[in-house]
């Protein structure tokens, strides 16, 4: 065949990711609270704190899912600002839009692939992606797209699982490979999706690896902050 192994594996990944989020969308927020003991709320608050948003900022949340970051940003902005909630998955995005509507918060919503963003160059003051980059097939093109839509001086924030402090690794492995899939089975009747979660974390680049990916995509002054001993890291880079 004319398909190389890589291409087949890649299209498998996108399909897998679509299946995972179709399956977990309804219970996604509950699972986040249970798995992280509520900590994901602090990690997201930290992301907002590092975003430098002002009342009139334009913000794009990529892979925004059920809208936690978009909601927090919308509450910080005034009339002149814009928040865009975007995701490739319709089930996640629909849930996000409904949650925000229920809270009386209106943001702009668009279903799109992070690798082909439907926005002009140099448009946003801040682009965020929380727990989304890991799921993307071509992380380099997604990062380059996010940089493209940033205005010069704008910043990209990437919140993602990372490499945990070594002494904690055995306990973390037990938790993520044994406990979380069970919890997933109990709450969502879908153990496989939560096994995928643990696996996808293991193959994702560590702190320094993601920093160099961002630099290769043209981001500058890239730095990162470890959260929960490296379970998660927030990377920040600028476009100049
Ligand atoms: N950002 C939200 C949060 O922090 O709660 C949702 C994170 S959820 C773990 C990952 C999201 O990435 C899913 O909603 C999934 O549909 C989305 N996603 C995966 N691949 C994507 C892509 N290529 N473009 C845009 N979104 C994508």
Is 237 or 2 the better-scoring residue by pLDDT?
237
Strand partners, 158: 129, 235
Strand partners, 87: 111
Residue 102 has a CB neighbour count (10 Å cut-off) of 8
Ligand 1 close to Cβ of residue 43 (< 6 A): no
Q: Which fold has domain 5-163+205-238?
A: Rossmann fold (3.40.50)
Residue 202 has a CB neighbour count (10 Å cut-off) of 11
Note the pLDDT of residue 1: 38
Boundaries of every domain in the chain: 5-163+205-238
* Ligand 1 centroid – CA 1 distance (Å): 32
Binding site as annotated, residues: 66, 87, 113-114
Is 79 or 67 the better-scoring residue by pLDDT?
67
Q: Is residue 178 scored above 80 in pLDDT?
A: yes
* Ligand 1 centroid – CA 2 distance (Å): 30
Binding site as annotated, residues for S-adenosyl-L-methionine: 66, 87, 113-114
pLDDT digits (tens, 9 = 90+) for 117-168: 999 999 999 999 999 999 999 999 999 999 999 999 999 999 999 999 999 9
d(CA 122, CA 240): 10
Note the pLDDT of residue 2: 44
Ligand 1 close to Cβ of residue 17 (< 6 A): yes
Which residue has a Cα nearest atom 14 of ligand 1? 65
Note the pLDDT of residue 219: 98
Strand partners, 223: 236
Note the pLDDT of residue 8: 54
- Please state the atom number of ligand 1 nearest to the C-alpha of residue 115: 23
d(CA 107, CA 131): 20
pTM: 0.96
Average pLDDT over residues 172-186: 96
To the nearest whole percent, how much of the chain has pLDDT over 90?
Answer: 93
pLDDT digits (tens, 9 = 90+) for 183-211: 999 999 999 999 999 999 999 999 999 99
Q: Is residue 96 scored above 60 in pLDDT?
A: yes
Note the pLDDT of residue 3: 45
pLDDT digits (tens, 9 = 90+) for 48-57: 999 999 999 9
To the nearest whole percent, how much of the chain has pLDDT over 70?
Answer: 97
């Amino acid at each position: 065949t004319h398909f190389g192994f890589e291409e087949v594996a890649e299209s498998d990944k996108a399909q897998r990711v679509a299946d995972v989020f179709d399956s977990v969308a309804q219970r996604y927020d509950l699972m986040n609270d249970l798995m992280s003991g509520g900590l994901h709320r602090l990690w997201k608050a930290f992301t907002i704190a590092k975003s430098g948003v002002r009342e009139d900022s334009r913000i794009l949340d990529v892979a925004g899912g059920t809208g936690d970051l978009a909601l927090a940003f919308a509450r910080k902005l005034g009339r002149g600002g814009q928040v865009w909630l975007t995701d490739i998955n319709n089930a996640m995005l629909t849930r996000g839009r409904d949650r925000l509507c229920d809270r009386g918060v209106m943001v702009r919503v668009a279903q799109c692939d992070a690798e082909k963003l439907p926005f002009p160059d140099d448009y946003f003051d801040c682009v965020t992606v929380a727990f989304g980059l890991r799921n993307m097939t071509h992380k380099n093109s997604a990062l380059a797209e996010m940089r493209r839509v940033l205005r010069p001086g704008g910043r990209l924030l990437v919140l993602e699982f990372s490499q945990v402090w070594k002494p904690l690794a055995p306990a973390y492995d037990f938790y993520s490979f044994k406990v979380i899939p069970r919890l997933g089975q109990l709450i969502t009747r879908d153990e496989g999706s939560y096994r995928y979660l643990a696996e996808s974390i293991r193959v994702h680049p560590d702190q320094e690896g993601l920093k160099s990916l961002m630099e290769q995509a043209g981001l500058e002054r890239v730095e990162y902050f470890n959260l929960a001993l490296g379970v998660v890291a927030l990377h920040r880079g600028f476009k100049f």
